[in-house]
Every structure is written in C-alpha cells, then in structure tokens.
C-alpha cells in the first residue's frame, strides 16, 4: 500500500486486486482518468440516453468539477491494451473537497444530518462497466477495491445516489415502496431533497409483492443493502441522465461489524 497527501489529508492507497485477467486499482495517470471519463460518457450518455452538454459531446467524455479531487478506481484487462478501462468508480472524500465545494450528491440533497453525525465521509459515484464486460468479476473487483479503501482509511460513512432507468416514477413504484418500507433512513440523518422531487410515501403502492420488488433492485444497490444501506424518502427525476434516483448512505462501522466477509478484499 502507498500513501497520498491532498488538502492536508493522507490516504492509504490499497494495492491492486486481481481476478483472472482483470486488475482493479486507482488510476495513476491523467490518461487513465480520461479513459475512465470516456467510459462514463459511453455508458451514461450514448448507451443510457442521457443528455450531455456541448463540452461533453466535443470531448466524448464525462468530465466534471469533482474529477480533480476524486480517486478513480479503474479495472483493466491485463490480456489486452492496458490503457483500456473496463470499469470505473469515483471516490470523493470530504477531506479533498475544495473550500465551499459540496459533494455531487448535494446538488440534489441536503446532507447536513450526515455531516453533523460523521466526520469522515466518502461519496461513491460514476459507477460504470463497459458494455460486453458486465459479468460478476469486474463488478466484484470494483466493489472489493472500494471496500478495502474504506477499511484502510477508516471511512465512517459512504454516501451516493442509486439510479433507476427512465424518468417515469410509476415504472418503479413497487421497488421504491419496498425500499421505503425496509430501508428508509432515520429522520435525524435522512438526506433531504433540495430540488423538485417525488415523496415516496405519496406514491408508494398499498399492495406490494415485496419478494418480487426485491428482485427488481439493481445489482449494485442490492450489494449496498446487504451492508445496511439506508435511503432517502424522496426520489429525484433526472432528465440529464434519463434516470430516477434516491440518495443512499452506509454506516461503515455497522457494515464492518456485520458483513466482514463482503468487505474483505484479501
């Protein structure tokens, strides 16, 4: 493992993790970060029907203000061109944010409850895997590497957004109702929407087949739920990314106390 210093905060950087032909590690060059940004563009805009601004279209890359302060997990296929990024996830610590800069999630949610309760916060976002490579190995490598980073750096809470395809909330009533019933965050730390939103309590179905709804939970979110994730009680419709999303968080101490096997990379 190595250490890095940014904004007076030192981070322990886990060693690469291998699974067969694939290797997960942090991007360590500008070119690797750019390859991750291009993958994000292909998945979030070209494939999923998002609406990129002109700058993103020109670069064919998803680039924003949080990239310079983030750690970028990348998965490489060691049997082919080593510059090809097959999967990526961005990690942003509150200790790396610039003065007055907020998390990406805070464009849609007030996280003051979480900020008041935890001192070390890590936002996980921009999770993407290349088309044709979405088998379990790459997802698990990204997951394991992120968890090792969290363990090594004693992160107290993870926060981010969980997205569902499309902008019609009615398409997701059952799964949103399931999450509201089983996983809504406590009032004291619950993320509060600061933009136009839909209250899940207003639209949740009265008669939900929870078994069926549980199967509709996206794979990545299902993993977070196994670690004790809690969700907001409001959903945001996002036409830019052609999605509907919730804010979620995971308390790291609870995660480690009950799910050691899921978060140990080695």
Domain segments of the chain as ranges: 2-263
Closest CA to 252 of 66, 144, 120: 120
Closest CA to 218 of 262, 170, 165, 167: 165
Q: Count CA within 13 A, CB hemisphere, residue 13.
A: 17
pLDDT digits (tens, 9 = 90+) for 49-102: 999 999 999 999 999 999 999 999 999 998 876 678 999 999 999 999 999 999
pLDDT digits (tens, 9 = 90+) for 205-226: 778 888 899 998 988 899 899 9
Label residue 190 by pLDDT band (50, 70, 90).
very high
Q: Is the pLDDT of residue 1 over 70?
A: no
Q: Is the pLDDT of residue 204 over 50?
A: yes
CATH assignment of 2-263?
Answer: 3.40.630.30
Quote the pTM value.
Answer: 0.92
Tokens of 241: 């990314």
The overall average pLDDT reported for the chain is 91
Q: Is the pLDDT of residue 25 over 70?
A: yes
Instruction: State residue 167's pLDDT score.
Output: 94
Instruction: State residue 47's pLDDT score.
Output: 94
Q: Is the pLDDT of residue 261 over 60?
A: no
- Of the chain, the percentage scoring pLDDT greater than 90 comes to 78
Label residue 194 by pLDDT band (50, 70, 90).
very high
Question: Can you tell me the distance from the alpha carbon of 215 to that of 96, in angstroms, rounded to the nearest whole number?
Answer: 36
Residues with Cβ < 8 Å from 135, sequence gap 6 or more? none
Instruction: State residue 260's pLDDT score.
Output: 52
Instruction: State residue 209's pLDDT score.
Output: 87
Question: Can you tell me the distance from the alpha carbon of 128 to that of 88, in angstroms, rounded to the nearest whole number?
Answer: 5
Instruction: State residue 203's pLDDT score.
Output: 83
Instruction: State residue 9's pLDDT score.
Output: 64
């Amino acid at each position: 493992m190595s250490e890095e210093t940014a904004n007076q905060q030192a981070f322990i950087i886990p060693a690469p993790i291998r699974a067969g032909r694939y290797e997960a590690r942090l991007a360590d060059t500008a070119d690797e970060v750019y390859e991750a940004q291009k993958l994000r563009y292909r998945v979030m805009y070209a494939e999923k029907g998002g609406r990129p601004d002109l700058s993103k279209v020109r670069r064919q890359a998803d680039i924003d203000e949080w990239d310079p302060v983030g750690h970028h997990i990348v998965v490489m296929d060691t049997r082919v061109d080593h510059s090809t990024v097959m999967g990526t996830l961005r990690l942003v610590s509150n200790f790396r944010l610039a003065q007055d800069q907020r998390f990406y999630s805070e464009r849609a949610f007030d996280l003051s409850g979480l900020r008041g309760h935890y001192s070390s916060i890590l936002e996980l976002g921009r999770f993407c895997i290349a088309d044709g490579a979405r088998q379990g190995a790459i997802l698990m490598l990204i997951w394991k590497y992120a968890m090792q980073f969290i363990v090594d750096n004693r992160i107290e809470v993870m926060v981010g957004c969980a997205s569902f395809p499309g902008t019609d909330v009615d398409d997701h009533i059952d799964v949103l109702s399931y999450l509201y019933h089983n996983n809504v965050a406590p009032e004291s730390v619950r993320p509060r929407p600061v933009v136009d939103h839909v209250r899940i309590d207003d639209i949740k179905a009265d008669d939900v087949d929870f078994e069926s709804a549980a199967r509709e939970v996206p794979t990545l979110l299902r993993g977070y739920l196994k670690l004790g994730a809690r969700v907001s009680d409001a959903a945001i419709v996002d036409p830019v990314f052609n999605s509907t999303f919730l804010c979620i968080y995971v308390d790291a101490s609870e995660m480690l106390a009950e799910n050691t096997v899921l978060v140990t990379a080695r």
